[in-house]
Amino acid sequence: MSRRVRVAECAVAGLLLLLSTACGSRLPESDFETRPQRTPTQQGGDPIRVGIITSATSPVGGDTFTGPRDGAKAYFDRLNARGGIDGRKVDVRTCDDGGSGVGNNECVHELVDEDNVVALVATTALDYAGASRVSRARVPDIGGQPIGAAYDTYPHLYGIYGSLAPRDGEPGWDGKLYGGTEIYRYFKREQGARTAAVVSYNQSSSAAYARLVTRGLEAEGYEVVTEQVDFALPNFRAAAADLKEQGADLVFDAIDSYGNAQLCKAMDDVGAEVLAKVTNVQNWTSTVPEDYKDSPRCRNALWATGSSRNHEDTDHDAVREFRDATKGLETHSQWQLEGWAAAMWFTDAAKSCAGTGVTRACVDRFMDSGKAYTADGLLIPVRHERLSEPPKTRRTCVSVARWEDAEGWVSQGDMNDECFDVPQLSYKP
């Protein structure tokens, strides 16, 4: 894969970190007036059809986006083995959109119009071009990954991290989304960090995300060291030497996975030691030993942050069930766990329809209740509300884990206790 292609992954990772802390929605009652689907109400009967759209093949790599799909399928497989929903099996229809807008629209047409799915689950699309069509069809899209701004733009779409935005067809509020500074607050309060380095490429998406990270760090009182490397010929060794000279406690980045591995190697080569090399939920995977095989010191300074319970926290009953059901997978990741949680969310919504039949409208009503959802404790409580004005501050919790070669990803405290009242900063998606 060329470096010019790899940088797309950097932009995706950056957007994920931004949008995972952005805000969501509640629908008016009129939005529930939709045609019922052909699904029987009695116990047993025809399968309940759901769709999963994934950019399984895309410019950023074949397995980059498949985690949520694999987690959701594992959940539905186990659910069906236990009898399904009120005796009805869940029929999972998958579609690979190839990472393109054209392919995404084709998947939406296939699943929504031809297969007549009750809902979409765990959508993970590089270009969610068909989002407006899903919304117009009033198909609930449950637990999708917010790679773009769709989950803060359209009604009937419910991202895995929730949203407070109006979702009236325009992203966020007047085209602006909002995110908090809880990650930076955590490292300042819990780890005593005071100086942070932000590494980016001299490329527009990378540089824009780096500016937002810098802004958040400065809002939390950090001294910020910015390091920009050339996109085509990056000199990571020079950047590593400078952040060492500047005494950085933390390193954040707006670069791709390949670049991260090279940056870590350079940090080891120059002897740059930090409290934390901070990554996000997309890179919270079991492949760390292979990805960072050339940088043992930096590898053991990797920290991941997100909004879901560590997929290696098997002391927790719900995580243990997830791991048992996915033990046949070659690798494990946080995105798989979040796909599993998305499938559970749909299942709970469908179970609420026992009296009326599992229809798009009934499932949507459950999703739009405004009640917090945790997927049996796998998620920091998620809400979809609809606020006319963006919040200036918000109490936000964060899930944190640290990589240790001997143990893997080790949780740092409980995610429901690591909570902060933080300012909400605006940004354009």
The rounded distance, in Å, linking the Cα atoms of 359 and 158 is: 16
Cβ atoms of 377 and 155 within 8 Å: the answer is no
The rounded distance, in Å, linking the Cα atoms of 228 and 234 is: 9
Cβ atoms of 190 and 411 within 8 Å: the answer is no
CB atoms within 10 A of CB 168: 12
SS3 label, residue 276: strand
Per-residue confidence (pLDDT) for residue 239, from 0 to 100: 97
Q: Which amino acid is at 116?
A: N
Four-residue CA torsion sign, 307, 21, 168, 109 = negative
SS3 label, residue 168: coil
Token output for 372: 């917090």
Q: pTM for this structure? A: 0.90
- Count of residues making up the chain: 429
114 DSSP 8-state letter: I
Per-residue confidence (pLDDT) for residue 80, from 0 to 100: 98
Per-residue confidence (pLDDT) for residue 63, from 0 to 100: 81
Per-residue confidence (pLDDT) for residue 44, from 0 to 100: 63
**Residues 6+ positions from 290 with CB-CB distance below 8 Å:** none
Output the CA–CA distances (angstroms, integers) from residue 276 to 186, 196, 226, 406, in the order listed. Answer: 12, 10, 16, 17
Per-residue confidence (pLDDT) for residue 205, from 0 to 100: 83
Q: What is the pLDDT of residues 305-335, one digit of tens each?
A: 999 999 999 999 999 999 999 999 999 999 9
Token output for 167: 């979702």
The rounded distance, in Å, linking the Cα atoms of 320 and 403 is: 19
Rg (CA), the chain: 21
Strand (E) or helix (H) holding 12:
helix 3-19
**Burial degree of 232 (CB within 10 A; 0-12, 13-18, 19+):** exposed
Cβ atoms of 158 and 137 within 8 Å: the answer is no
Per-residue confidence (pLDDT) for residue 183, from 0 to 100: 97
Residue in the block written with tokens 């200036």: 392
Q: What is the DSSP string of 314-342?
A: TTSHHHHHHHHHTTTSS--BHHHHHHHHH
CB atoms within 10 A of CB 369: 14
**Residues 6+ positions from 406 with CB-CB distance below 8 Å:** none
Low-confidence ranges of the chain (pLDDT < 70): 1-44
Per-residue confidence (pLDDT) for residue 43, from 0 to 100: 53
42 DSSP 8-state letter: S
The rounded distance, in Å, linking the Cα atoms of 73 and 263 is: 35
Per-residue confidence (pLDDT) for residue 60, from 0 to 100: 79
The rounded distance, in Å, linking the Cα atoms of 135 and 154 is: 6
Per-residue confidence (pLDDT) for residue 282, from 0 to 100: 87
Cβ atoms of 222 and 253 within 8 Å: the answer is no
Among candidate residues 379, 384, 388, the one with its CA nearest the CA of residue 365? 384
Per-residue confidence (pLDDT) for residue 355, from 0 to 100: 86
φ and ψ of 349, to 5 deg? -65, -45
